[in-house]
Structure 1
Amino acid sequence: MTRLPDTDWRRAEGLDRLMEALGASDGMIRFVGGAVRDSLLGLPVKDVDCATRWRPEESMNRIVAAGFKAIPTGLAHGTVTALIPSGPVEVTTLRRDLSTDGRHATVAFTDEWREDAARRDFTINALSADPVTGELFDYFDGLNDLRDGRVRFIGDALHRIAEDHLRILRFFRFHERFGRGEPDAEAMQACVARANDLMALSRERIADELLKLLGGTNPAPTIALMLDNGLFRPIIPEIDTDGADRLARLVAREQLSGTRPDSLRRLGALLPQDPETAVAIARRLKLSKLATRRLELGASAATGPARALAYRFGDDVAIDLLLRGEVDAEHLGLDQLSGWERPRLPLGGGELIAMGLQPGPVVAATLQRIERQWIEEDFPDGERVTLLARQAVDQSLRSRQ
């Protein structure tokens, strides 16, 4: 019998008491989803999810009786969040789908574990485990798919995508993370055939799933696969093969420079390198104003030393520009930004007037000239700033004679 590994998260403070309160010894609750899948692969587990035969109101009562706070996260869909000392645990009543429209599902509660597992998208996500014994339950051959690096829909792929169109993007995200070799043929054919279904999804859901995909270890091959098969045409037709090449180059430069992957930076590399187009796409995806501005600046092709770029645009945009630029990946100067805080020019208009300038536009223009030189010299202070100011004031006075 295959069992769930005895990993650290299973010994988290309060988890045993929660499982006992929810009837683990009587087979009333199981670990499900990513916690089971990732434990079998030896990966870190971030979120612990459980499925239970109890109705949500009873789950809440039992959680509270055990001394924990119960949050009605989504009672209509059977989900309650238990707050234990080690963090939140989601507890969801077993469900079956009554109807779906490609975006939302109407569900009913059930007592059948297999019925609940069958409504999940991929076989590797339908595994469950007994909290007491660790016994694994695998109704759709998910263990073999996990071992073989195959992401496969449960049941007919076309039908599963019709139930929830977002599963197209989820397929590629899970293939990037867990797949090895060529994608499952049936799944791939179904995603291509139903690609236009993506147009029915909200832009927010598309953006969220795309950014998760781009946050993977190396999403470039998967993105290229999607482009080759026309998956972006219904949602972001501006992306082309040049974008896939830029993304691959960026990922390689992140790895060479030891820079942490960043989904938004990678999206910026994927999009056309034109600020107006980047802004239009960001707005279409309903990204935040901050994210939109970052994509706009990242597409500007501005160049310069690391600190100069960070002074002008902020650290994130500076790193984006440097990694997407032409400087060798091992000599970008990113270490110069570690612990660095944007300085302020230690000079104001009053000092320039005291040096002889007349109040007015000339003061602002002279300050700007000083600032440009100050940035170019990597932000000196003290006597050097005074000298720069004197030189700039003298030049301004001479030009006005």
Structure 2
Amino acid sequence: MTTIPLSEDMQSAATRAVFSALEAKGGRGCVRFVGGCVRNALMGKPISDLDLSTQLTPDETEAALTTAGIRHVPTGKAFGTITAVVEGEPYEITSLREDVETDGRRAVVSFTTDWAKDALRRDFNLNALYADIDGTVYDPTGLGIGDAKDGRVRFIGVAEERIREDYLRILRFFRFSAGYARDIDAESLAACVALKVGIDGLSGERIQQEVLKTLKLANPLPAFAAMQAHDVMPHVIPGWLGRGSDLPEFAAVCGLTDDVDIRLIALLDGGIGLSAAALHAVQTRLKLSQRLYNRLRDAGKALDALADNAPFARLMYLHGRQATEDAVYLAAAHQAKAPSAVAYVMNMLAGLDIPVFPVKAADLMTRGISAGPELGQALKQLETDWVNNDFSQSVIDRALDALAK
């Protein structure tokens, strides 16, 4: 019998209260930890979210929590998920399910009390693991414990069948392989490559979420490099060409920062470039937020200016501090700069104040320029001259003196 050491959260009073509430309704053993927390405990990795599976139906789960006085929200009741909240901590509780129908994007499910049937609808052996409140591990596929301990990411059963149930599993395979596998599984990889066109039918939101989760990994390079090597990336990022099989700039940026946005900028820079047209296509397909799109766009503009040797103060004034910092990361990656060199520049930028244009429209109006298009043009031209001359006050003084005469 395999047991896992329970983390502090897994054995907290709040967690035990949830287990007790459900077991009061469904009996001892009707609820178990599932998936990531069990897998990570076996592999000695940090545990974050605590997900639970139960033999109770969603209605029964709600009734049990209500009886115990535990607040709960039907976050995904149609799919079997009720979220309990105890002492501010959320617990996603999902009823055991089996697939009735799948179309590669979504599944129609029915509820069951059979742990094995629930396990068989999951993606990888190491994700189909359950554990009770005492830490005893249950492995319905018979392969999950071994795969977790040996660092293997393999589809449950026949890989192509699991992928056809949900093509997002292709992207999950690359993410989990980068995060948990010692080596990429050849049979699973072959199935992903054979069915990669199925990614085209997925929603942009689901692809975006998976890409961002992958970028959060300590080292996301193996995932994207493998997708690049096997021509999966064009199905993930529209317009993808990829200028290097090993994504050198992306690899360099990943070694410099764990900021997901900067990593995404570097990935796109190496795969499609940062032109407005290319970024707009990505935003449209992956449903990127306007905030993220603006950051991608501004970083591209700042990188172009940096390539033209624009001073940092000018870069920050024209493009903002964030875009300037992003451009520095990208430029450092292109030039293979050491982390110490990047840190030096970042410290320098932190000490720079963004200049403030010292002239107002009223300053020009008092010198004879009337309100209207001419005033706006004169103000803009004066600002451009001031910026191009490194914010020289003498440029301002000469211009205002000339107007006063």
Residue 114 of structure 1 corresponds to which residue in structure 2? 116
1:1-400 equivalences in 2 (<5 Å):
1-23=1-23, 26-131=28-133, 133-140=134-141, 141-181=143-183, 183-236=184-237, 238-242=239-243, 247-256=247-256, 258=257, 260-262=259-261, 263-273=263-273, 274-300=275-301, 301-303=304-306, 304-306=310-312, 308-326=314-332, 328=337, 330-332=340-342, 333-336=345-348, 338=350, 344-354=356-366, 356=367, 358-359=369-370, 363-368=375-380, 371-372=383-384, 385=393, 387-394=394-401
What CA distance in whole angstroms lies between the structure 2 residues aligned with 1:4 and 1:321? 45
What CA distance in whole angstroms lies between the structure 1 residues aligned with 2:207 and 2:349? 33
What CA distance in whole angstroms lies between the structure 1 residues aligned with 2:347 and 2:368? 39
1:264–1:224 distance in 2 versus 1, CA, 3 Å:
closer
Which residue type is aligned with residue 259 of structure 2? R
Report if aligned partners of 1:55, 1:93 keep a CA contact under 8 Å in 2. yes
Q: What is the CA-CA distance between 1:278 and the residue it aligns to?
A: 2.2
- Aligned-residue Cα RMSD (Å) equals 2.9
What CA distance in whole angstroms lies between the structure 1 residues aligned with 2:7 and 2:285? 42
What CA distance in whole angstroms lies between the structure 1 residues aligned with 2:390 and 2:318? 13
What CA distance in whole angstroms lies between the structure 2 residues aligned with 1:281 and 1:321? 19
Q: What is the CA-CA distance between 1:378 and the residue it aligns to?
A: 7.7
1:395–1:157 distance in 2 versus 1, CA, 3 Å:
farther
- Partner SS state of residue 14, structure 1: helix
Alpha-carbon deviations, 1:235-285, whole Å to 9, x = none? 53632331655x5324424534x5634353244334322332222232122
Q: What is the CA-CA distance between 1:79 and the residue it aligns to?
A: 0.9
Q: What is the CA-CA distance between 1:308 and the residue it aligns to?
A: 3.9
1:221–1:55 distance in 2 versus 1, CA, 3 Å:
closer
Which residue type is aligned with residue 370 of structure 2? P
Alpha-carbon deviations, 1:284-304, whole Å to 9, x = none? 222223323333333342324
Report if aligned partners of 1:69, 1:82 keep a CA contact under 8 Å in 2. yes
What CA distance in whole angstroms lies between the structure 1 residues aligned with 2:19 and 2:380? 65
Q: What is the CA-CA distance between 1:323 and the residue it aligns to?
A: 1.2
- Partner SS state of residue 107, structure 1: strand
- Partner SS state of residue 26, structure 1: coil
Report if aligned partners of 1:264, 1:291 keep a CA contact under 8 Å in 2. no
What CA distance in whole angstroms lies between the structure 2 residues aligned with 1:311 and 1:63? 55
What CA distance in whole angstroms lies between the structure 1 residues aligned with 2:61 and 2:351? 47
Report how many residues are paired.
388
- Partner SS state of residue 239, structure 1: coil
What CA distance in whole angstroms lies between the structure 2 residues aligned with 1:271 and 1:167? 22
TM-score (norm 2): 0.85
Which residue type is aligned with residue 194 of structure 2? A
What CA distance in whole angstroms lies between the structure 1 residues aligned with 2:79 and 2:234? 33
Which residue type is aligned with residue 151 of structure 1? V
Report if aligned partners of 2:7, 2:47 keep a CA contact under 8 Å in 1. no
Q: In terms of mean alpha carbon deviation, does 19-28 or 135-144 score higher? A: 19-28
Moved over 6 A (4+): 376-379
1:12–1:350 distance in 2 versus 1, CA, 3 Å:
farther
- Partner SS state of residue 92, structure 2: strand
1:11–1:347 distance in 2 versus 1, CA, 3 Å:
farther
1:372–1:80 distance in 2 versus 1, CA, 3 Å:
same
What CA distance in whole angstroms lies between the structure 2 residues aligned with 1:135 and 1:352? 78
Report if aligned partners of 1:122, 1:151 keep a CA contact under 8 Å in 2. yes
What CA distance in whole angstroms lies between the structure 1 residues aligned with 2:242 and 2:299? 19
Report if aligned partners of 2:266, 2:330 keep a CA contact under 8 Å in 1. no
1:14–1:113 distance in 2 versus 1, CA, 3 Å:
same
Q: In terms of mean alpha carbon deviation, does 158-167 or 209-218 score higher? A: 209-218
Which residue type is aligned with residue 14 of structure 2? G
Structure 2: unaligned runs, 5 residues or longer: none
What CA distance in whole angstroms lies between the structure 2 residues aligned with 1:268 and 1:199? 18
Which residue type is aligned with residue 114 of structure 1? A
1:95–1:313 distance in 2 versus 1, CA, 3 Å:
same
Report if aligned partners of 1:36, 1:127 keep a CA contact under 8 Å in 2. yes
What CA distance in whole angstroms lies between the structure 1 residues aligned with 2:232 and 2:324? 31
Which residue type is aligned with residue 16 of structure 1? R
- Partner SS state of residue 8, structure 1: coil
What CA distance in whole angstroms lies between the structure 2 residues aligned with 1:28 and 1:259? 40
What CA distance in whole angstroms lies between the structure 2 residues aligned with 1:351 and 1:396? 10
What CA distance in whole angstroms lies between the structure 2 residues aligned with 1:239 and 1:21? 51
Q: What is the CA-CA distance between 1:234 and the residue it aligns to?
A: 3.6
